[in-house]
Each structure stands twice: as C-alpha cells, then as structure tokens.
Amino acid sequence: MQISKNKVVSLDYVLTDDQGQVIDRSDEGSTFAYLHGANNIIPGLEQALEGRQTGDNVKVTVQPEQAYGDRDDNLTQVLNRSQFQGVDQLEVGMQFHAGNEDGTGIRVVTITALDGDAVTIDANHPLAGVTLNFDVTVRDVREATAEELDHGHVHGPGGHQH
C-alpha cells in the first residue's frame, strides 16, 4: 500500500542538522505513527513520503520554509523578571506557555538570556531556521480508522493515546 492522504504511516527515523548532530529519533523498539495529509508532520517530510510504501528508505533534506520556518527576530523580547510570578528560579532554556499578543492562542517561549531583572525570551520554534535531514524507513502503511479520521490523528501504538 502506498502512502497517500488518510493513510496511517508507521516509520523509524533519525533527524540530524547540517553538522550531523542528532536532533531527534524514533524510540528504539517502537515506531512513530502519523496520519498522512492531516498536518501531523512538517510539510517537507510529508511531501517526500507521498507515494512511498512499506520497506522504503527515504533520505530527505527539508529547508526551513518547509519545516518550522525561518527565525523571526520580532519573536524575541526582553521582559522584567517580575512577569514570571510563582517561579522561584529562572534558568536559560526554561520554557513557558504564553498567550499571543492578539489573544488568538498560546505560544511556547524559551528563556534565552538572563541579565539581572532582564529576561530575554524567544517565541520562535527551537528548530526555526534549521535545515533538517531525515533518514526514514517506512515500517507500515494502513487505512485509517473512522475514529482516527474524525480525530485527525493516529490512535494506538506509536500514535496518540486517549
């Protein structure tokens, strides 16, 4: 069966940056599963997997615009430490959920610098601006269940549990 819209795809993968550093990988002994065509993975990888089938090995380089986008310096700002009420110890690398300025949603922000009471946060995705290199092996392709299609994601092993 070929990978196409509304198919459940199970795969093993290793993700590296351009320096060959491993950024992420599927868990050893289990596969990663997603619903193809439901925006469950980045567009560049999904496009590269279209039409593939069980057993295929795919090596693909995905540019930032087809992954997490380019970095946007406007998403970095300096806040006063007092805005982090209830947090005793702030550290570089800590992440928080923050509301968007226009009130339309929640965004993850990361502390990137501390200087006295000045706290620099960055709302860019950690992989924004990074070229991603995937080495993927397709382990299985199957029809999605009606419930998976209704929910927009995979249920069961390698997928969402609820």
The residues near 106 (Cβ < 8 Å, ≥ 6 apart) are: 97, 98, 99, 100
Higher pLDDT, residue 160 or 60:
60
Q: Does domain 7-68+129-151 have CATH number 3.10.50.40?
A: yes
What CA–CA distance (Å, rounded) separates 129 from 127? 6
pLDDT band at 71 (very low <50, low <70, confident <90, very high): very high
Q: Which fold has domain 73-122?
A: Thrombin, subunit H (2.40.10)
Q: Which of 8, 2, 51 is nearest to 155 (CA)?
A: 8
pTM above 0.85, yes or no: no
Window from 1-15, 58-72, 81-95 with minimum mean pLDDT: 81-95
